[in-house]
Amino acid sequence: METTHPLSSQSPASRRAFSLLELLITIAIIALLAALLLPAISRAKESGRRVACLNNVPGLELAIPSEGIAGIPIEVGDVLTIYVP
């Protein structure tokens, strides 16, 4: 003999599948969590690009005094300003 939950009006056999409402609520919650994560992922990617760009600065500092910019030699004492937002 199958027993049913006292608060349930349905038999256990008919309660196996999710209802459409439960499925839509689950999809909505997943979409909301994804929407909350996207800005954080975007900021992390931008931070990674910035770090990768700044890692090129020591190489530029070594190359520019020896090669110059567009054939114009730069002396070691000249100041190069690098803008980092």
User: How far is residue 7's CA from residue 16's CA, in Å, rounded to a whole number?
Assistant: 16
The position carrying tokens 């409402």 is 21
Please report the pLDDT score of residue 37 as a whole number.
94
Per-block average pLDDT, block size 10, for the chain (85 residues)?
Answer: 58 71 95 94 92 84 65 60 53
* H-helix or E-strand spanning residue 48: helix 20-54
Please tell me the pTM assigned to this model: 0.46
Q: What are the sequence ranges of the domains in the chain?
A: 19-85
